[in-house]
Amino acid sequence: MKRVLIPTDFSENAWNAIKYGLELFKKENCIFYLLNTYTPAIAHSRFMAASMENGLITNAAQSCSVNGLASVVCKIEEEFSNNKHEFKTISSFSFLTDQVKDIVAELDIDLVLLGTKGASGLDEVFMGSNAVRIIKAVKDCPVLAIPQSFEFKKPTEIAFATDFNRFYTMSELKPLIDMATSFDAVVRIVHVQYEIKALTELQFFNLSMLRKYLGRVEHYVHTVSELNSVSKTLESFSIELDIHLLAMLHYQHSYMERLTREPVVKRVAFHTNTPLLVIPELSMGSTSKKGNKEISFSN
C-alpha cells in the first residue's frame, strides 16, 4: 500500500495539492498522512518553543491544528469518497521541515506531496520557501510539488530534465518509470545546453543507459538552448509541449540544485505552472528503514 505524506496549513494552496493527490492515486490503495505543524509566532527558537509547550498559546494552537485536520478529512470524505484510501492525521508542535524528515524515515513514506505558492506582483519566486526547504531536506523519497493554480490533468506527457553528466541507477529512476507506466505516459528527456554541441562520450553512455532503463516506455530526447536561465528554459519547454509533469533528480550540480540557487533576477519571470517531481539521489547501499521513534497520529 502506497504511503503519501501531505503537509497542510489549511490554505487553498494546500487543499489543491490534496485534491491532486487524491485524483493521481484514485485507483491505488493508499494511506494518506495529513500533517499540520504549529509553532506559535512568539516561539522564535527551539528553546522558546519547548518552554511554551504546556502554555495556553500552545494549547490553543494545538486545538486549531487538530480541529483543522479533522475538517480536512471530513471535506475529503464528502468530495472524494474512495474505499481504496485511508487517512491519518498528524498534529505536531514542531518545525515543518524537521517533522517531514522524521515522518518520511519513521513511517517509510513513498512520496511527499505538497502545494507551492505562486507569484504575486513583484514578489515572484521559484516556489515557496517551505517547499524548497523540504525538497532540499528529504533524501529518502520523492517530493511532488503542485502549483497552487494547477488543476489535475492525467500526466500523459512527462518531461525529465537532465544534462547526462551523471549516471542514474535503476532505483533512482523507478519513481519516474512507475509514473510513466501507470499513466501510459510519454517521457520527454530534455537536455538544456548553454550552447548546442555534441555529447561527450560519458554523456552519450549515460543517455544510452537512461533509454535502456526506460525500456518500453515511449520516450524522446530533446536538446534545447538555454533561454536566460534553466528555469525559464524549462518553463518554455513545458508550455510548448503541454507537459503535465516535470521530473528531475536532485544531486550536486543538478538542474534542481541550479534552480534553487539561481539569482532572483534570473528566475523573476518563472512561474511554477507545472507539477514538479523531485527524485532524491540515492547513496550507495542505502535502504529504506522505519525508525524506532513513535509518531502520534489519529484516524
158 and 143 in a single domain? The answer is: no
Same domain, yes or no, for 134 and 217? no
Do 102 and 211 belong together in one domain?
no
pLDDT of 4 higher than 80: yes
Residue 57: per-residue pLDDT:
59
Do 142 and 286 lie in a common domain? Answer: yes
For the chain, what is the domain count?
2
Cell reading at 156 = 500523459
Domain that holds residue 181: 151-274
The reported pTM is: 0.84
Q: What is the pLDDT of residues 236-275, one digit of tens each?
A: 899 999 999 999 888 765 665 666 555 433 443 345 578 9
The verdict on 50 and 118 lying in the same domain is yes
Q: Maximum CA pair distance of the chain?
A: 65
Digit-coded pLDDT (tens) for 34-60: 999 997 555 545 544 444 545 555 678
Same domain membership, residue 285 and residue 239: no
CA dihedral in degrees (202, 247, 126, 165; nearest 10)?
0
**Grid coordinates of 257:** 540544485
Same domain, 156 and 257: yes
The three grid cell numbers given for residue 47, joined into one nine-digit string: 528553546
Please check whether residues 60 and 95 belong to one and the same domain.
yes
Average pLDDT taken over every residue of the chain: 82
Same-domain check for residues 24 and 123 = yes
CATH number of the domain bearing residue 202: 3.40.50.620
Q: Which residues are within 8 A (CB) of 14 and not within 5 positions of it... i.e. 6 or more apart? A: 6, 7, 8, 114, 115
